[in-house]
Chains A and B, each alone.
Chain A
Amino acid sequence: MSIVAFQRVTKRFGAVTILDQVDLSIEQGEKVVLIGPSGSGKSTLLRCINALEAIDGGDLVVDGLSVRGGPGTVRAIRQEAGMVFQQFNLFPQMTALQNVAFGPRRVRGTPKRQAEEEAMALLAKVGLAERARHYPGELSGGQQQRVAIARALAVRPKLMLFDEPTSALDPELRQEVLRVMQELAEDGMTMIVVTHEMAFARKVGTRLIFMEGGKITVDGPPAALLDQPDNPRLREFLQHVH
């Protein structure tokens, strides 16, 4: 069974159609890289998966649960699908450790001590154990984003959604975030990544999806598509991002 299944999903903002009857199935273990010009609907597609955007038509099933299943089902889906945001969105009043322990404590009801021990292990995994007691404002952008990845992982999701995770970072800080993402992929995590990092798509991605005008127009193995794009719009797009 697919872990994510879009069935003729439509999403509108007012009169504008952002997603136009999208069909898409993603299997466990896939590393899907979503690319496309701005406004093509790639971020919206991602945000529909964890129901941060409500869909207007069709159905979207995540790990057997429909995003239209009501508040309880939506919360269950969000616990299965962790999200990393472009702007990190760490909670500024909490330390790195408290940010990571927050999900387990408040969502899963894990005791504080255990939650913080697990949080510490996750921070070590993203290379930030020694920054555990720092507040987000005291961390670099790359460090903040790595904390944000740890925070999402702390709830033990089955898949991870990345919404342009390196777009707000300076070039030299991007690599540390991409490296953590690559390690996560090597651990077998199912990942859906909206990004402009074509090197990452080629190296880590198992599937490349190109969107334009609210539709998926290209879907296939990254290396082949990046080397020889036969879709003219994709070819044009790749010339701009390279």
Chain B
Amino acid sequence: MEFDWSVIWAALPELLRGARLTILIALAGLAGGLVLGLIAGLMRAYGNIVLNTIALIYVELIRSTPIIVQVMFIYFALPLLLDVRINPLTAAITAIVINAGAYIAEIVRGSFLSIHRGLREAGLALGLPFWKVLVFVVGPLAFRRMIPALGNQFIVSLKDTSLFIVIGVGELTRQGQEIMASNFRAVEIWSAVAVLYLVMTGILTLALRLTEKRMRIL
């Protein structure tokens, strides 16, 4: 079999459109996932029994079910339960937010609790309210420790967007599948798709490396 580069050039505009959607879903999903994960993680780390239990149930529910089931649930079951219409893109972003949020919650909890208790006490002993101790003392230290684990999660979530092929979101994998279905050039198309994912995760990895380098882990 001959590798036909012209197939890739022809497909590239559509693949790039897919990649753009992949990036959009990943960015929006991870931004939301960070916020949700931060809230749930802090609830787990410092919340009273009620807050802690709510966050625990959320985290366990998400971690214990496959993401594809979560996607299907959000797109097909939720509209029936709540009597609303959800478009595929919203469903996709929501799925990433909820899924990444659960994993990020554990990353946040672990890193906040790993910060030496004495630093928290030193902040409190100055007369600061607890939230200020978290924001100005514990948070900045915990954030440094989160970076490697967050990097993992960002990459996993970015690749998880390929699952949205099942609900018809025109992201990169879906675009590849559609082109392939019309020209049957599996080798060229799936190679190109793989390389585009590599480029995206590569840039993400590089960005995280740089951030990590600029902030010493203390």
Chain A residues in the interface with B (C-beta under 8 A) = 50, 52, 71, 75-79, 82-83, 85, 87, 89-93, 102-103, 106-107, 137, 148, 151-152, 155
In the assembled complex, the CB of A160 is this many whole angstroms from the nearest CB of chain B, namely: 11
Number of B residues with CB within 8 Å of any CB on chain A:
19
> Once the chains bind, are A102 and B129 in contact (CB under 8 Å)?
no
* A41–chain B nearest beta-carbon distance, Å: 18
Closest Cβ of chain B to A178, distance in Å, is 21
For A90, the chain B residues whose CB sits under 8 A away are 122
Stretch at the interface among B89-97, B136-144, B155-163, B164-172: B136-144
Chain B residues at the A interface, C-beta cutoff of 8 Å: 116, 118-119, 121-129, 132, 136-137, 140-141, 144, 218
A50 vs chain B, min Cβ distance (A) = 6
* With known contacts A91-B137, A92-B141, A78–B118 Cβ distance under 8 A: no
Q: CA of A87 to CA of B141 in the docked complex: distance in angstroms?
A: 18
Contact of B122 among A71, A89, A107 (CB under 8 A): A89
In chain B, what residue has the closest Cβ to A52?
A: B121
Looking at chain B's contact residues, the main secondary structure is helix
10 CB-based A-B contacts, threshold 8 Å: A75-B127, A89-B118, A89-B122, A93-B141, A93-B144, A93-B218, A103-B126, A107-B126, A107-B128, A152-B126
> Which A residues touch B119, using CB under 8 A?
89, 91-92
Cα distance A148–B125 in the bound complex, in angstroms: 12
Q: How far is the CB of B214 from chain A (nearest CB, A)?
A: 13
Known contacts: A75-B129, A92-B141, A137-B218. The answer to whether A85 contacts B122 by CB under 8 A is: yes
CB contact under 8 A between A85 and B126, given known A93-B140, A93-B141: no
A76 touches B127 (CB 8 A): yes
C-alpha spacing A137/B218, complex, angstroms: 9
**Contact residues in B for A75 (Cβ distance below 8 Å):** 127-129
Chain A residues with CB below 8 A from B121, complex form: 52, 85, 89
Collect the chain B residues with CB atoms within 8 Å of residue A93's CB.
Answer: 140-141, 144, 218
